[in-house]
Amino acid sequence: MLDLGFQELIVIFVVALLVFGPKKIPELSRTLGKAVRELKTAISGVKDSIAEAGDEAERVEKDISEGYRAAQEADKTEQKKDTDKEKQNHDR
């Protein structure tokens, strides 16, 4: 995610120490850690929701395809019945 080296982390820590003081650093670190954890949890939830929606879309697509095929088969059967009736009527 972030490509920070050891030197960059030391500079960030020194600047934070100068700005906030040594007593506030642990509290800020805990707060930042909780925020990052909550963000990761939220992102994971969104990913799961997207995956579930994709699975549901595939199921719906499959159901529609099966319904379309069934309708085509029913139509063919109905056409065959009509053709057979016409032949019977023509033969009489």
- Tell me if residue 81 falls in helix, strand or coil: helix
In a domain, 12, yes or no: yes
Residue 87 above 80 pLDDT? no
User: What's the Cα-to-Cα distance from 65 to each of 53, 73, 76, 82, rounded to whole Å?
Assistant: 18, 12, 17, 26
User: Rounded to the nearest 5 degrees, what angle is found at the Cα of 36, between the Cα atoms of 32 and 39?
Assistant: 140
Quote the number of domains for the chain: 1
Residue 74 has what pLDDT?
Answer: 87
Question: Which residue range(s) make up the domain with 55?
Answer: 6-91
What is the pLDDT averaged over residues 75-82? 81
Q: Is residue 78 part of a domain?
A: yes
For residue 72, is it within any domain? yes
The model's pTM is: 0.53
**pLDDT tens-digit readout, 14-46:** 898 899 888 888 898 899 899 999 999 999 999
Residue 92: band (very low, low, confident or very high) from pLDDT cuts 50, 70, 90: low
Q: Is 60 domain-assigned?
A: yes
Domain membership of residue 36 (yes or no) is yes
* Residue 15 located in a structural domain: yes
Within-domain flag for 1: no
Half-sphere exposure of 60 (CA within 13 A, CB side): 6
